[in-house]
């Protein structure tokens, strides 16, 4: 494990990069012995500071749960990050592109919890019982660490590249649709760029939430009632640029749109 002073220094560096909307060099190039647990310690310090500064936590994101995302990043295991209220955008939002770095969009389902979930033995059935509803969502990825050559250690330290999320469409109960077969078409400026099916996320998107509850238990944490959980992308990340309009069509679950300026 890294010394606490080093963890604090890395969190300082990432906070400064977020403020300046810049990127920093790879952590793993500078701290070759840095572990996954070190990176979660950095992330937790960043989250703690956010809460101390008045930011309101509203949930978690899960990343790298599908083969297509693992292939796109070269990382072979899931990770998680924190969501604050100021990261959440409504359907139809106009979003400042320069607020983020290396801006990409992913297509996901968001689980909104009615009950708490605490590992270590959470199952997909526990997740379904605890979920109030599921709603379509887009995740905005933002990397504050150089992307070339990054590993999961770099990504986790960077709050799993979480920048923001946009929610929309139709909230549904978990038994109202077959969540495995929820599909979406992702458009940029009226041109379809990606498509996918939610079963790409660990064979069922609720499996991602179960994984998260069990992983949080290893860090002495849990999911609380009302938490939003982004369950993981079932498309590759799509790059977006200033002036782009993004639309995701979830068919019966509705659509999400946003524009970057």
**Per-position DSSP letters for 185-208, written without gaps between them:** EEEETTEEEEEEEGGGTTTSHHHH
Beta bridge partners of 172: 134
Q: What is the pLDDT of residue 176?
A: 96
Helix axes 4-20, 36-52, angle to 10 degrees: 60
Kind and range of the H or E element at 88?
strand 88-90
Total domain count, the chain? 1
Q: What does the block give as tokens for 4?
A: 């606490």
CATH number reported for the structural domain that contains residue 54 in this entry: 3.90.850.10
Q: What is the pLDDT of residue 116?
A: 98
Cβ neighbours of 246 (radius 10 Å):
22
pTM above 0.75, yes or no: yes
Per-residue pLDDT tens over the stretch 241-251:
999 999 999 99
Q: What is the pLDDT of residue 64?
A: 80
Per-residue pLDDT tens over the stretch 3-61:
999 999 999 999 999 888 889 999 999 999 999 999 999 999 999 999 999 999 999 99
| Cα(225)–Cα(55) distance, integer angstroms | 18
Q: Is the dihedral of CA 74, 100, 144, 158 positive or negative?
A: negative
155: three-class secondary structure by DSSP: helix
Q: Which of 100, 82, 124 is nearest to 211 (CA)?
A: 124
pLDDT of 218 higher than 70: yes
Domain that holds residue 13: 4-260
Q: What is the pLDDT of residue 75?
A: 67
Least confident of 29-43, 68-82, 203-217: 68-82
Least confident of 16-25, 99-108, 128-137, 155-164: 16-25
Q: Which of 92, 109, 105 is nearest to 183 (CA)?
A: 109
Q: What does the block give as tokens for 45?
A: 């310090």
pLDDT band at 65 (very low <50, low <70, confident <90, very high): confident
């Amino acid at each position: 494990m890294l010394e606490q002073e080093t963890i604090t220094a890395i969190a300082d560096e990432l906070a400064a990069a977020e403020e300046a909307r810049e990127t920093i060099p790879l952590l793993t190039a500078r701290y070759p012995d840095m572990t996954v647990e070190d990176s979660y310690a950095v992330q937790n310090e960043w989250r703690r500071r956010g809460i101390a500064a008045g930011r309101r936590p509203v949930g978690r994101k899960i990343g790298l749960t599908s083969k297509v995302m693992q292939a796109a990043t070269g990382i072979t295991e899931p990770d998680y990050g924190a969501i604050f209220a100021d990261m959440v955008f409504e359907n139809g939002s106009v979003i400042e592109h320069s607020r983020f770095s290396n801006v990409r969009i992913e297509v996901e389902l968001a689980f909104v919890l009615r009950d708490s979930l605490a590992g270590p033995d959470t199952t997909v059935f526990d997740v379904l019982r605890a979920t109030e509803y599921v709603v379509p969502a887009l995740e905005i990825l933002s990397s504050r660490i150089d992307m070339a050559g990054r590993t999961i250690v770099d990504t986790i330290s960077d709050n799993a590249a979480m920048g923001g999320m946009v929610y929309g469409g139709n909230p549904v109960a978990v038994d109202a649709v077959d969540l495995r077969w929820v599909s979406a078409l992702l458009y940029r400026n009226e041109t379809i760029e990606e498509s996918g099916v939610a079963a790409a996320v660990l064979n069922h998107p609720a499996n991602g939430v179960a994984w998260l509850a069990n992983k949080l238990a290893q860090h002495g944490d849990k999911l609380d009632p009302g938490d939003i959980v982004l369950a993981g992308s079932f498309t590759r990340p799509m790059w977006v640029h200033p002036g782009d309009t993004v639309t995701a069509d979830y068919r019966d679950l509705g659509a999400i749109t946003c524009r970057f300026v």
